[in-house]
Structures are given as C-alpha cells and as structure tokens.
C-alpha cells in the first residue's frame, strides 16, 4: 500500500534538541490515498512544543465550502458526437443586439448555461456512466449464458464501445485537470493522472494563512485577507511621478506604426488562435482554445466583428478585461501570501486580442530595445547575456582587472510598474496615438479577483502593474526596463559611471533579461554612489521597487574591505563567484562535479515525487524524454558535461525506465545504446544525453556564423579574432590556455584535429568573398579547394587568403600571384588549368 506524506502547515520541524542547534521532522502522518479522500484530509499542523522536545502534530480535516467555482470547458466534451450539433444549434438560435463585444460575450455566457444542462442531461457523470455500463454488460452476459442469441452479441459490441468511450472521456478529463501536458492523448495512464491531480490539489490547497504571528482561518477570513492583500499590491500610491526627460531613446518610424495599427484580417487571427495551447488553465469565461478551434467556423464571424470594433473604437468592456489571479506556491509549506506566485488568467476574447497585438509589437520592438536586453525578441536568446557575463568574468580574472558586479533584485517587478510611466515611455519612443489608446483599453483598464481554492474573491480595480499571463506584458515590460538602460548609458556618457572596458569600443555596463539585471563597472566609490542614485531614481520614475536586501555585489580582484563597505552603503550583501545568473552558474568550472550537482539534486527531487508503477513502459519513456531529459538540457546548452556526470544522469534514467526508485538498482534488459536509438531503428527513442549536449554546443557555432550583429558575437571576436572563418576551416581551431573553458569546449565540439566534422556539414554562400577562405573553406564543390588541388595549395604563400583576394570583382577570372606563377611545374600547371574550370 502506498502511503503519502501530506502537506505541512506551521513549523517545518517537529523535534528540537535541548540546545536548539539540531532540529528534524521526526513526527508525521503517513496516510493512504483512500483515507485522505474519505476523511477529507487537507494537511497536518505542527504546533508549539512548549517544554517538550517534540511538537504536537494534528490532522486537519475539513469539508469547508469555499464558494461557487467558475465554469470550465472540458476537452472530453469535444469527443462526444452530439456536442458540435448542439453548440451550433444554440449559437445560431441566439439573437443578441448591441456592441459587438457585448454580443459575443453574451453569447458565450448563454452557451455556458446551456452546456451545464447538456453535461447533466446528455454527457452525464462519467463514473456513474461507467458503473451503469458495466452493470448492463454483466446483465447481458448473464442472459447470453442462459440463452445466447446473435442479437445479444450485437448488443454486447455496442455496450463494449460505449464502455471504452466513457473510459476515454474520463482519461481525457483527468489528464486535463492534472496538467500533465507531457504525455499524448490516449496513453492510458489514468491512474498516473489521478495521482498527479490529487498531489497537485494537496500542494496548492490554501488551508490557513499567517500574518505576522497571527494565523487566519475560515473561508470568509482567508478570502478577505487574500483580496485585501492583492488589492493593496495593485494600488498606485503616486499620482504624478517624475520622468526621464533628458534621455534619448530610439523611435519608431511612420512605417513601423502603420504596421502596428493596420486592420485585423482573418488569416492573422486564425494563426494566433491555432498557436495557442488548448490545454492551458481555464480562463474567467471558462472556454479554452480547443473549443474555439473546434467551433471556429461557427464563431469566427463574431470574433472578427469584435476585433474590428475594437480597432476603430479602442474600447473594451469590463467583462472582457476582467481576469482571475491564481496563486502558485513558490516553495514547500507556504504560510504567508508572499510565499505564493500570482499568475493571471485572462479571458478567451481578450487573449486573442492581446496575442494579436503582442505578435505585431514583437516584430518592431527590436528596433527600440538596446542589445544588452536579451529577452523575448527575435534573434535574442536567454543565454546571450550569460555568455557575455561569463566571458567578462573570465577575462577580468586572467588580465587581473578590477571589476565590480551588482546583481539587481526587483520586488514584484511586473506588479509595480506605473501605467503613467509606461505610457510616457511609449510616447517618447514614437508610438502612434491609436496604439497608445489601445494599450489604455487593454492594460490600463482592468479588474481582477483572486482564486482561493478554486473560488474567486470579490473583484477589485487594478491601478498599476502588468498581468503575468497577458501576452502583451513581457514586451511592455521591455519598454519599461529600457528606461533603466537609458539612465545607465546616460551616466556613462556624462562620465558619472565607468563600465567594464574590454578594449577598443567594447564596453559593458548593464546586462538584462527582462527584470534580471546585472550592472558592471570599475570598482570605485564613484560607481557605487552612481549605482544607488540610478536605482533610486528609476524606482521613483517607474514604480519598480529595488529590493536592495536581496541584491548582491560581487568583486573580481577587488579588496574585501571595499566590497563590504560598498555593500553596506547599498544595503545589500556580498557574494562570491561563481553565482547563478538566469539559472546558469557564471564563472564556474564545468569540469567540476559541484557545478552539476544542482541538476542531480533536481532530478532526484523530481523522482522522489513520482511513482513509476503508475505508468506503463511507454509512459515512462515519454516522461524520461519530456522531463528527465529536459531538466539538464538548459545546462547542456551552455556547458559541456563531464563523462562522469552524463553517466550519473543515464543511471537515473535507467533506474526509472526499468521500474526502480532512487536507491533501487533494477536489471537493465536492453543496452542503453539500443534504448537511445529511434523507434524506426528498433530503439525506444530516448534522448542520448551526450549526443544532445554536443548538438546544443554546436548550435553556438551555428549562431557565430549567422548572428554577427549580436553583442556577444562582438565580444567573442574581440577576444578570439575573426571566429567565423576559423569555424568553417577544415582543420582544428587553435585555442590556448588564455581562452575561457567555455570557448574551448565550444570550439572543440566537431572541430578537433582527429574529429573535425562540423565544417563538412556547413556550406557558405559566397557573397562578396571577403570572409570566406579560398583554400580552407567549402564554398564550391563538396570539400575545400585545398583537397582537390593539393599541389597549388602547397605552392600558395598566403594559405589563409579569402576568395576576394584571388577573384576579380564581378568576374570568375582568378588573379594569381605572378611571383610564383612562373615557377609552376607541369603537374601544378595542370591543376591550375583544372581550377580555372572548376
């Protein structure tokens, strides 16, 4: 029998030593799943121990009614043969007049009520349907045993089909509720879905809340506390904030604005609808995108009329912009509301509109946002800033440069942005008036309510912030964050802040990925004072509050006394290198096992919450590929894993595949190399981690060849020379001990002397020939010219010459070096003639 350790409220530990230096959770309830369901167990409470060394532990049981829960469209309804006709009949029959936004909202509202009735009367209760079908089947088999007839066999076939249909409906429903999106429909893992659903509900259940030393209990008290807390968080304290008037930002052109505010067309809208995942959390109106896709031909006319009306009027009713705030625990055993991460669930119609506008904005925003910002935009990736920071740390250490790093922590970044500041930034960046009116209607005019155990609180008006979950929010946040970049760059221009100079014009003073920010500069008191002035000023203008207590200061070749004094002045703490930036330990040695320990720990923690016996072998393979293999992929995208680490990860996968736990060692029935083969080659299709690591590192080589305008590429070229031409030569790229470990690993993948396969897989487009090696790169034919004409290559003095050195502009006539042309042998002349015809 499987026993479950249910969530804990109150203290983390139940036993304390006499001196208070040792503590542990020795006392706990371990309960069966059936007992938890029967007695409605919510959690276990660890109380005060008084004079004992053990704390009392109570079981919390409750059948509290948290209030009405919103309508949710179930994907399993779409499998029912009568649904489509039912929805079409109801939709066509409805006669609603008024503004287009009101019309479609009212139609969806009425359809919800009709679907509730249809679910009760036609679709039915699945468990009851299955039970009745089994009874019917048993009765029929009993009759057939007494007097079997052909008609009974026909009836049995129909009942069998009905039975399996009901099981499929139930599996689809439980899968949707469990949020197990990694497994494909029909994988028949209903038991696993049940376990995932129950575990998720226990983890997210809010039983009590702590405010200071006071514990809040009861439905009304908890819902009121939650509502007041978040209503306060979204209340604007300042009516008139100062602004960054003297800082220049890039501006949009008339053509850019014309693209942003062009009319909506059906093809664009349909592309957006089909790009949305239909299995996401239910929205306030209850409908998901699976419903919309299935019924698109019926509802598209109303959707397009609603969008066109908004295009002209820039007005949205409250019902469209209203949203739910759902609370996700940020850690085990949450007690305070600050232990929850608020995620916004927006309505179906608003999400279509928001994603339409976001897709347009994303295409134009790269013209406005500085290259030091690497978030969300085409051509920029999360690891761009990691590369720069890692290389800066490595170079500063090798050159003995003094460098100061300040990692900024924003407090509830998205929730605190001033709408007035955001609008003024858009005006300063040249956004059209119509676009700004759209943003007022979409973002600056909203209300929300908080879901507490599935039931919404009273709604409240929002006065600031961006909703996490709104497709527009990430891009609008980039506009807000650009204000900080502008302030830092302005301080550099007027000599108030000195960034870290690598040489020439290569200088870094700020790196950003959305709100993850690092300031770089010389270790001087002028820089320290300027950092505080900039961050305080940005807080005033934008509303984004800097959490100096959680911010960190790092020094490279900087005296400890200076760092401690600077940290005291900034009210932050001093930390050491390596440290995590965007989830990657920058400045770390990837050869050491401790660099990879977080990955091992993450896999171990994930496995401890799974029960492999709930899954078929196919389910375990899918889980390995989608979860166990994906956890290390982010690290694999940047660092090369040592062989010992790869072996550890593979052992974890092997144990899980063959049904073992964390400590159990199961017999492996097939060689792992066979398991990693594709299914059409007789394998199970499990990812080969070492091969995947190689492929992800090779992607950096590919990016070096194609993203030559990127900030990180400029840095690499400064440190290592013209890297593009080196990577394409059919020979090992020379590295030295002065190069960073990361660069040596990237260059070494597919570019070693005995395994130089990367250039053979890449071909160059000639262009003007200024950057393509004439002899050493594959630009014509299937191999470098040196392999076809070895005698001429030996004769060539300038073996690294590029194509443009030997090819006349606009011509195919080769310009040979006349000095050695007269000394060619007979065989060399023949090669020259063949080359001229190549």
Dist CA 285 CA 72 (whole Å): 8
Contact 324, 456 (CB under 8 A): yes
Q: Judge if 528 and 472 occupy the same domain.
A: yes
What is the phi/psi pair of residue 606, to 5°? -65, -45
Q: What is the pLDDT of residues 357-371, one digit of tens each?
A: 999 999 999 999 999
Dist CA 260 CA 837 (whole Å): 52
Give per-residue burial for 709-724: e unless 16+ CB within 10 Å, then b. Answer: ebbbbbbbeebbeebb
Dist CA 379 CA 367 (whole Å): 12
Maximum alpha-carbon separation in the chain: 108
Q: Judge if 513 and 629 occupy the same domain.
A: no
Burial class (CB in 10 A: 0-12, 13-18, 19+), 78: middle
From 173-182, 328-337, 484-493, 569-578, the region with the lowest mean pLDDT = 173-182
Q: Judge if 273 and 386 occupy the same domain.
A: yes
Average pLDDT in the 767-782 region?
Answer: 71
Between CA 40 and CA 48, with CA 45 as vertex, the angle to 5 degrees is: 160
Dist CA 147 CA 248 (whole Å): 91
Between CA 558 and CA 563, with CA 560 as vertex, the angle to 5 degrees is: 75
Q: Judge if 175 and 34 occupy the same domain.
A: no
Whether 68 shows a pLDDT value over 80: the answer reads: yes
Asked if the structure places residue 750 within a domain, the reply is: no
* 180, two tokens: 């197990």
Whether 817 shows a pLDDT value over 60: the answer reads: no
Q: Judge if 436 and 514 occupy the same domain.
A: yes
- SS3 (DSSP) at 15: strand
Average pLDDT for the chain: 83
Give 613's contacts (C-beta < 8 A, 6+ positions apart): 659
Dist CA 518 CA 510 (whole Å): 6
Q: Which of 166, 184, 204 is the last residue of a domain?
A: 204
pLDDT at 182: 45
Dist CA 614 CA 195 (whole Å): 8
List Cα–Cα distances, 72 to 76, 115, 171, 471, in angstroms: 12, 10, 17, 21
Asked if the structure places residue 321 within a domain, the reply is: yes
pLDDT at 779: 66
Q: Judge if 552 and 600 occupy the same domain.
A: no
Q: Judge if 675 and 602 occupy the same domain.
A: yes
Dist CA 179 CA 283 (whole Å): 15
Q: Which of 581, 613, 648 is the last residue of a domain?
A: 581
Asked if the structure places residue 70 within a domain, the reply is: no
Q: Judge if 570 and 480 occupy the same domain.
A: yes
pLDDT at 2: 66
Q: Judge if 372 and 415 occupy the same domain.
A: yes
Query: Within a 10 A sphere around the Cβ of 271, how many other Cβ atoms?
Result: 13
pLDDT at 184: 47
From 166-175, 544-553, 738-747, 780-789, the region with the lowest mean pLDDT = 166-175
Asked if the structure places residue 356 within a domain, the reply is: yes
Dist CA 395 CA 503 (whole Å): 11
Most confident of 236-245, 296-305, 620-629: 296-305
Q: What is the pLDDT of residues 412-449, one digit of tens each?
A: 889 899 999 999 999 999 999 999 999 999 999 889 99
Q: What is the pLDDT of residues 618-631, one digit of tens each?
A: 777 877 877 777 88
Q: Which of 687, 703, 728 is the last residue of a domain?
A: 687
Asked if the structure places residue 675 within a domain, the reply is: yes
Q: Judge if 305 and 370 occupy the same domain.
A: yes
pLDDT at 49: 76
* 41, two tokens: 């167990």
Asked if the structure places residue 748 within a domain, the reply is: no
Asked if the structure places residue 664 within a domain, the reply is: yes
pTM: 0.84
Determine what percent of the chain is predicted with pLDDT higher than 70. 82
Dist CA 827 CA 838 (whole Å): 16
Asked if the structure places residue 753 within a domain, the reply is: no
pLDDT at 818: 47
Average pLDDT in the 8-35 region?
Answer: 80
Domain that includes residue 198, residue range: 125-204
Q: Judge if 280 and 200 occupy the same domain.
A: no
- SS3 (DSSP) at 44: strand
Average pLDDT in the 233-259 region?
Answer: 90
- SS3 (DSSP) at 553: strand
- Chain centre distance of CA 452: 25
Contact 478, 375 (CB under 8 A): yes
Q: What is the pLDDT of residues 71-121, one digit of tens each?
A: 888 888 888 888 888 999 999 899 898 999 999 999 999 999 999 888 888
Q: Judge if 560 and 642 occupy the same domain.
A: no
pLDDT at 804: 73
* 526, two tokens: 């002028």
Q: Give the number of domains in the chain.
A: 5
Contact 544, 466 (CB under 8 A): no
- SS3 (DSSP) at 745: helix
* 471, two tokens: 């497709």
């Amino acid at each position: 029998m499987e026993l479950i350790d249910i969530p804990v409220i109150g203290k983390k530990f139940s036993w304390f030593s006499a001196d208070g230096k040792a503590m542990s959770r020795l006392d706990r309830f371990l309960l069966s799943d059936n007992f938890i369901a029967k007695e409605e167990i919510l959690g276990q409470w660890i109380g005060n121990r008084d004079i004992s060394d053990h704390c009392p532990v109570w079981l919390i049981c409750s059948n509290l009614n948290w209030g009405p829960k919103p309508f949710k469209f179930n994907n399993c309804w779409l499998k029912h043969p009568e649904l489509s006709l039912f929805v079409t009949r109801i939709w066509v029959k409805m006669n609603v007049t008024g503004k287009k936004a009101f019309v479609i909202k009212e139609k969806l509202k009425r359809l919800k009520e009709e679907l509730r009735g249809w679910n009760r009367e036609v679709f039915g209760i699945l468990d009851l349907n299955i039970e009745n079908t089994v009874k019917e089947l048993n009765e029929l088999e009993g009759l057939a045993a007494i007097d079997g007839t052909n008609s009974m066999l026909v009836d049995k076939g129909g009942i069998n089909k009905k039975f399996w249909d009901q099981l499929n409906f139930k599996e689809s429903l439980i899968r949707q509720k469990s949020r197990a999106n990694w497994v494909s429909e029909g994988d028949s893992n209903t038991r696993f879905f049940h376990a995932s659903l129950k575990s998720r509900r226990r983890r997210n259940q809010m039983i009590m809340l702590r405010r200071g030393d006071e514990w809040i209990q009861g439905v009304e008290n908890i819902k009121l506390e939650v509502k007041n807390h978040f209503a306060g968080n979204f209340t604007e304290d300042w009516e008139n904030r100062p602004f960054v008037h003297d800082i220049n930002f890039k501006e949009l052109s008339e053509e850019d604005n014309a693209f942003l505010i062009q009319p909506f067309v059906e093809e664009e809208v349909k592309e957006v609808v089909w790009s949305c995942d239909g299995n996401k959390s239910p929205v306030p109106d209850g409908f998901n995108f699976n419903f919309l896709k299935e019924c698109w031909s019926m509802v598209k006319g109303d959707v397009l009329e609603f969008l066109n009306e908004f295009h002209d009027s820039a007005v949205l009713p409250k019902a469209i912009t209203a949203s739910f705030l759902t609370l996700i625990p940020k850690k085990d055993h949450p007690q305070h509301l600050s232990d929850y991460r608020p995620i916004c669930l927006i309505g179906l119609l608003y999400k279509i509109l928001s994603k339409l506008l976001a897709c347009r904005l994303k295409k134009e925003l790269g013209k406005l946002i500085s290259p030091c910002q690497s978030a969300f935009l085409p051509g920029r990736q999360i690891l761009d800033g990691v590369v720069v920071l890692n290389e800066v740390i490595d170079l500063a250490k090798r050159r003995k440069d003094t460098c100061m790093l300040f990692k900024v922590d924003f407090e509830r970044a998205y929730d605190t942005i001033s709408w007035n500041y955001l609008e003024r930034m858009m005006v300063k960046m040249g956004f059209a008036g119509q676009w700004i009116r759209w943003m007022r209607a979409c973002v600056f005019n909203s209300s929300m309510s908080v879901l507490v155990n599935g039931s919404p609180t009273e709604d409240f008006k929002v006065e600031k912030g961006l909703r996490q979950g709104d497709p527009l929010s990430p891009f609008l946040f980039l506009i807000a964050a650009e204000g900080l970049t502008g302030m830092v760059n302005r301080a550099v221009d007027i000599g108030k802040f000195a960034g870290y100079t690598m040489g020439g014009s290569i200088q870094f003073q700020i790196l950003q990925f959305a709100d993850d920010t690092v300031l770089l500069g010389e270790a001087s008191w002028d820089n320290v004072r300027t950092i505080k002035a900039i961050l305080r000023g940005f807080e005033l203008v934008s509303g984004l509050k800097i959490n100096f207590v959680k911010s960190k200061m790092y020094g490279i070749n900087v005296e400890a006394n200076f760092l401690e004094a600077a940290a005291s002045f900034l009210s932050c703490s001093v930390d050491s290198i390596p440290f995590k930036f965007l989830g990657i330990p920058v400045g770390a040695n990837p050869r050491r096992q401790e660099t990879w320990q977080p990955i091992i720990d993450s896999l171990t923690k994930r496995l401890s919450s799974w029960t492999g016996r709930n899954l078929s072998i196919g389910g375990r393979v899918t889980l390995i590929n989608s979860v166990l293999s994906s956890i290390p992929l982010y690290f694999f995208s940047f660092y090369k894993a040592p062989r010992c680490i790869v072996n550890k990860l593979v052992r974890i996968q092997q144990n899980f595949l063959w049904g073992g736990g964390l400590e159990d060692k199961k017999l492996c029935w097939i060689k792992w190399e066979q398991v990693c083969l594709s299914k059409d080659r007789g394998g199970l299709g499990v990812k080969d981690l070492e091969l995947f690591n190689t492929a992800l590192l090779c992607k950096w080589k590919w990016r070096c060849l194609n993203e030559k305008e990127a900030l990180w590429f400029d840095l690499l070229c400064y440190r290592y020379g013209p890297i593009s031409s080196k990577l394409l030569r059919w020979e090992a790229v020379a590295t030295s001990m002065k190069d960073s470990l990361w660069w040596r690993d990237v260059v070494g993948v597919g570019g070693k002397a005995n395994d130089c396969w990367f250039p053979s897989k890449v071909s160059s487009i000639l262009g003007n020939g200024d950057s393509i090696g004439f002899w050493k790169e594959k630009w014509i034919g299937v191999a470098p010219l040196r392999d076809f004409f070895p005698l001429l290559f030996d004769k060539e003095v300038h073996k690294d010459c590029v194509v443009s050195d030997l090819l006349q502009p606009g011509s195919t006539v080769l310009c040979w070096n006349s000095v050695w042309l007269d000394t060619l042998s007979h065989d060399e002349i023949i090669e020259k003639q063949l080359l001229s015809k190549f």
